């Protein structure tokens, strides 16, 4: 959760921003596209000079939405070398691309028409060799080369409309821009035909660059396993933003990747560069970055801002750049936490009824103290949800907890109250100890099994499944001595 220093207006409670989040299909975000039923527009020749800008508004919004750039000289060097190889083997070796690693645990990659390539460290962590990553990068380059984004004018109008909607809902241009970036610059996914075309072009580029052309098949299989795991562990809506939102690893797409690879004439063995790739992954942050706070089960910690809290039983938390969201596994309860500046001369109760959220029951407003911190609380009623709001003044900021329930009973209200009482300052020892998870590459020793290695993971939920997904291992696959594998450690 980034520290928002501007005050968001929530006209119908937290649901407005949540509704915007559902629009987030942030994969493959080259801007304007057509559908299969639209007529193709004349294509303009790509100009080399047009593919170098890295200070555009789109670039800045993407950095803001994805936690900024991830600084890792070794990893950045590997990606840059890979992109250079792919460009040299492409149909337009005169074009220059810039690749940015985004400091986000989400699994995503996309490109802008100006040649800006983006890949999250979450996606990099999921790949198991450089040919898999090359398949992703070459696919995104293919979208640029095929000019699948030449309808910018039409999409720009749609983007402007969405930006106005976000601004109207939030009364905050900065958060509106972040919502727009999070829901992707394009606001449209590529058609099936365009995806298949980019697959074919990308495999060709990757193979000519000397990479194993079957890297795309392996990565798609890993993505399928990853998506299944996410659905089981967090009950996540399949429309949530990730690489598969517009790159589904459907059987026909996997089969198409295999067919494309087999059509390569005299491809040779193709390089996978597994050892070099895994060496570059050693020590990479896995999951959330503590500078934005991170989730440990039901607990959220933010060492930089110095606070922690625990969600009610059964909740799954999701940390974003704008807020922390939580949803109960059965979908009947939810929560949202963000932080704003409120003038010190304005009381919490006055701010609570100042209009930033509607339908407040004035009679329910009360004040209390939690762990030495002043708190104001009230209830509000929406069409389908009932809300319990808590405002906590912490230093110079106010933290806004909005708990929601489809059926808010006295017992449910007590679980919300129990949760807010866990909000407290972190001790210096806790702050020092709050370190992110990292990837560690280990060599399988004699006697090691998938289950034994999985127990070494710092992830305590579904360890074996996480280990298999992280290493691209099918359900019946085994490890053998001498193999190099990834584990997650503190």
What average pLDDT does range 166-194 have in this prediction?
Answer: 49
Q: Which domains does the chain have, with CATH numbers?
A: 11-283 (no CATH), 290-432 (3.40.1000.10), 436-489 (3.10.350)
Contact 172, 6 (CB under 8 A): yes
CA 273 – CA 277 distance, rounded (Å): 6
Q: How far apart are the first and last CA of the chain?
A: 21
Interval 144-177: pLDDT, tens:
887 765 543 344 444 444 444 444 444 444 444 4
Residues in CB range of 297: below 8 A, 6 or more apart: 460, 461
Question: How many angstroms separate the Cα of 279 from the Cα of each of 75, 84, 126, 283, 443?
Answer: 9, 20, 14, 9, 12
Contact 129, 162 (CB under 8 A): no
Query: Which residue in 319, 288, 323, 277 sits closest to 103, CA to CA?
Result: 288
For 376, counting Cβ atoms within 10 Å of its Cβ (0-12 exposed, 13-18 middle, 19+ buried), the class is buried
Contact 70, 85 (CB under 8 A): no
Q: Which residues, listed in sequence order, are joined to residue 357 by a DSSP beta bridge? A: 10
CA 432 – CA 110 distance, rounded (Å): 35
Contact 132, 215 (CB under 8 A): yes
Structure tokens at 12: 């119908």
% of the chain with per-residue pLDDT over 90: 45
Angle between helices 192-208 and 73-89 (to 10 degrees): 100
Q: Within 13 Å of residue 327, how many CA atoms lie on the same side as its CB?
A: 13
What average pLDDT does range 85-90 have in this prediction?
Answer: 94
User: What's the pTM value of the predicted model, to 2 decimals?
Assistant: 0.69
Q: Within 13 Å of residue 75, how many CA atoms lie on the same side as its CB?
A: 26
Place of tokens 């399988």: 444
Residue 431, pLDDT > 90, answer no
CA 413 – CA 176 distance, rounded (Å): 31
Residue 471, pLDDT > 50, answer yes
Contact 357, 427 (CB under 8 A): no
What average pLDDT does range 66-88 have in this prediction?
Answer: 93
What average pLDDT does range 255-284 have in this prediction?
Answer: 83
Residue 49, pLDDT > 60, answer no
Residue 115, pLDDT > 90, answer no
E strands in 320-459: 324-328, 333-341, 366-370, 373-381, 386-394, 397-405, 424-425, 437-443
CA 159 – CA 177 distance, rounded (Å): 10
Contact 245, 26 (CB under 8 A): yes
Structure tokens at 476: 């019946």
Q: Which residues, listed in sequence order, are joined to residue 336 by a DSSP beta bridge? A: 325, 402
Contact 246, 27 (CB under 8 A): yes
């Amino acid at each position: 959760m980034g520290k928002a220093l501007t005050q968001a207006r929530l006209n119908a409670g937290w649901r407005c921003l949540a509704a915007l989040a559902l629009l987030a299909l942030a994969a493959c975000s080259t801007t304007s596209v057509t559908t299969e039923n639209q007529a193709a527009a004349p294509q303009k020749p790509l100009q080399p000079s047009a593919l170098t800008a890295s200070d555009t508004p789109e670039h800045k919004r993407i950095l803001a939405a994805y936690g900024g750039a991830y600084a890792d000289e070794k990893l950045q060097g590997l990606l840059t070398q890979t992109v250079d190889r792919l460009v040299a083997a492409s149909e337009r070796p005169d074009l220059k691309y810039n690749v940015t690693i985004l400091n986000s645990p989400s699994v995503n990659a996309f490109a802008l028409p100006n040649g800006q390539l983006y890949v999250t460290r979450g996606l990099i962590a999921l790949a198991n060799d450089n040919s898999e990553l090359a398949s992703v990068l070459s696919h995104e380059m293919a979208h640029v080369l095929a000019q699948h984004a030449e309808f910018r004018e039409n999409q720009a109008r749609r983007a402007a409309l969405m930006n106005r909607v976000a601004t109207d809902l939030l009364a905050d241009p900065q958060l509106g821009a972040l919502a727009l970036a999070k829901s992707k610059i394009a606001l449209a996914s590529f058609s099936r035909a365009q995806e298949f075309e980019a697959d074919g072009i990308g495999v060709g580029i990757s193979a000519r660059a000397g990479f194993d052309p079957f890297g795309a098949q392996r990565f798609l299989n890993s993505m399928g396993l990853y998506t299944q795991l996410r659905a089981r562990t967090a009950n996540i809506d399949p429309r949530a933003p990730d690489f598969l939102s517009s790159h589904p690893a459907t059987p026909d797409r996997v089969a198409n990747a295999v067919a494309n690879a087999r059509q390569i004439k005299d491809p040779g063995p193709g390089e996978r560069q597994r050892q070099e790739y895994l060496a570059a992954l050693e020590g990479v942050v896995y999951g959330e970055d503590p500078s934005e706070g991170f989730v440990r089960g039901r607990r959220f910690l933010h060492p930089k801002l110095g606070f922690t809290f625990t969600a009610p039983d059964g909740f799954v938390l999701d940390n974003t750049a704008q807020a922390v969201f939580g949803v109960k596994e059965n979908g009947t309860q939810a929560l949202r936490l963000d932080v704003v500046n409120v003038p010190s001369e304005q009381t919490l109760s006055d701010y609570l009824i100042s209009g930033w959220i509607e339908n407040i029951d004035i009679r329910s407003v009360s004040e209390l103290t939690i762990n030495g911190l002043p708190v104001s609380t009230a209830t509000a009623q929406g069409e389908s949800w009932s809300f319990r709001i808590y405002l906590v003044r912490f230093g110079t900021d106010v933290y806004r907890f909005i708990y929601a329930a489809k059926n808010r009973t006295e017992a449910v209200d007590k679980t919300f109250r129990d949760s807010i009482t866990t909000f407290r300052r972190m001790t210096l020892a806790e702050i020092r100890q709050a370190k992110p998870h990292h990837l560690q590459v280990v060599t399988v020793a004699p006697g090691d099994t998938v289950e034994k290695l999985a127990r070494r993971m710092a992830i305590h939920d579904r360890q074996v499944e996480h280990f298999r997904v992280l290493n691209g291992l099918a359900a019946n696959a085994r490890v053998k001595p001498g193999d190099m594998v990834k584990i997650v450690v503190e």
